[in-house]
Amino acid sequence: MIGSPIGNLGDITIRAVETLKAADVIACEDTRHSLRLLSHLDIRDKELMSLHEHNEVNRASDLVGRASAGQLIAILSDAGTPSISDPGYRLVNACIDAGVRVEVIPGPSAVITGLVGSGLPTDSFYFGGFLPVKSGRKSRELAAALERVETSVFFESPHRLLKTLAAISDLEPGRSVCVARELTKRFESYHRGTAAEVAREFDGKTVKGEITLLIRGTGKKKAGRVRDLNAPHKN
């Protein structure tokens, strides 16, 4: 399971490159996308296989069989670490059930990159993956994030970001948030402030790129109840 760049191709690790060169087959979320990375690394003439959410269950038995026969199988998602909001979870479990060794090669993560760059508390956090598309479910998820003690991290579509920021601002306009956009890429940007401030910053604009949204938690609990603390976090 190989962590791949989330934008800047220079973030690939030496260990990841060595493993890709040694692999007998490379299973990719999107073979066309992975070909750009492999071409950049001058890794050619490798057997590529698609592995995405729609075929992972069927592909898993084949890949487990090939690994059991001694082949080295490399898994690549389009960006970041396989299985984190990407294919890989089912394959890992199939390998565990079959007694096939699973090795994870760490790499870039939009979750950790966004969290560190946000300036929000990092001592504990909640990762919720992609926010729900339907407004009712999204509202409940955002309300839960505002009640949560720790920092919440989500992925969001650029096309839905304005409505999401407006929804947070309606619930609690003074809560600190951060929109981390196009992480590690040329036009990377962090937008920090209260929910109301960041919502105004994006109001009327066309948002493009990949978005990581972070929402500050309440800070701590007291007497079994969540207490709202937007004061600077103390370690």
pLDDT in tens, 188-229: 999 999 999 999 999 999 999 999 999 999 986 654 444 444
Range of the structural domain that residue 213 is part of? 110-228
Indicate if 214 and 166 belong to the same structural domain. Answer: yes
Cβ atoms 120, 145 nearer than 8 A: no
Let me know if residue 233 belongs to a domain.
no
Please tell me the pTM assigned to this model: 0.87
Weakest-pLDDT range from 51-65, 85-99, 114-128, 208-222: 208-222
Domain co-membership, 128 together with 153: yes
Residue 199: CATH number of its domain: 3.30.950.10
Note whether 43 and 122 are same-domain residues: no
Q: Is the pLDDT of residue 125 over 60?
A: yes
Is the per-residue pLDDT at 185 higher than 90? Answer: yes
119 plus 88 within the same structural domain: no
Paired tokens of 134: 């339907």
Contact 185, 10 (CB under 8 A): no
Do 213 and 116 fall within a single domain? yes
pLDDT of residue 85: 87
Residues 86 and 134 in one domain: no
**Domain identity same for 78 and 174:** no
Residue closest to 192 by CA, chosen among 205, 181, 206, 208: 181
Q: Say if residue 121 is in the same domain as residue 219.
A: yes
**Same domain assignment for residues 18 and 90:** yes
**For residue 234, is it within any domain?**
no
pLDDT tens by residue, 68-109: 999 999 999 999 999 998 899 999 999 999 999 999 999 999
Distances (CA, A) of 54 to 36, 67, 110, 128, 202: 22, 21, 23, 21, 34
- The rounded distance, in Å, linking the Cα atoms of 235 and 220 is 12
Query: What is the mean predicted confidence (pLDDT) over 120-138?
Result: 96
Q: How confident is the model at residue 148 (pLDDT cuts 50, 70, 90)?
A: very high
| pLDDT at residue 140 tops 80 | yes
